[in-house]
Amino acid sequence: EMSAGMQQAFSGKFDKEELARLSKNAGNTDEQIKALLTAEQKAAYPNYQQEEAAYNARMAANNELTSLQAAVGLTPDQEDRAFAALYQANFNQLSGQAKPPTGGQAEVMQWTLDQKAKALEPILSAPQMASYQQQQAIQIKLAKDIWSKMQGAGGSK
């Protein structure tokens, strides 16, 4: 569903009805996976989910650190501390330890960026933090513009 939505957004041919159909037909992926597992595999599944969250948190933190370094310039000490902070913020969200507010995608994205800004605040200097927050504002604006266009789109286009 998400992949189809992204493809539609990038192609400029957004079809709400198709995405709604895909979402309805997808069902609960976690339950579908568990239904295929043996009892032993089901017992190990929570550990797998934690390992997957840790892996994805590392990947996201690496990507974000690269962007952060390009945007604000970090000292080696700041790099290590920023990676740890970004990893923890990502892991908390991916593992369900931190729950975003219920609401639209823009609210969830804003909450996520706010969590990362809070984590980075003790690490970045005031000018670096201002630069980082400007970068976040641009990301939010771009995402809101895309979501607004998607919401304004009718059926098939």
Q: pLDDT tens digits for 25-40? A: 777 888 889 999 999 9
Q: Over the stretch 116-155, which tens digit does the pLDDT of each residue have? A: 999 999 999 999 999 999 999 998 888 888 777 766 655 4
| Residues 6 or more apart in contact with residue 101 via CB below 8 angstroms | 107, 108, 111
Q: How far is CA 96 from CA 26, 60, 83, 90, 99, in A?
A: 21, 16, 20, 10, 6
- What pLDDT does 55 receive? 97
Rounded to an integer, the average pLDDT of 56-77 is 95
CB 131 within 8 A of CB 72: yes
Which of 117 and 5 is assigned the larger pLDDT?
117
- Exposed, middle or buried: residue 156 (CB in 10 Å: 0-12, 13-18, 19+)? exposed
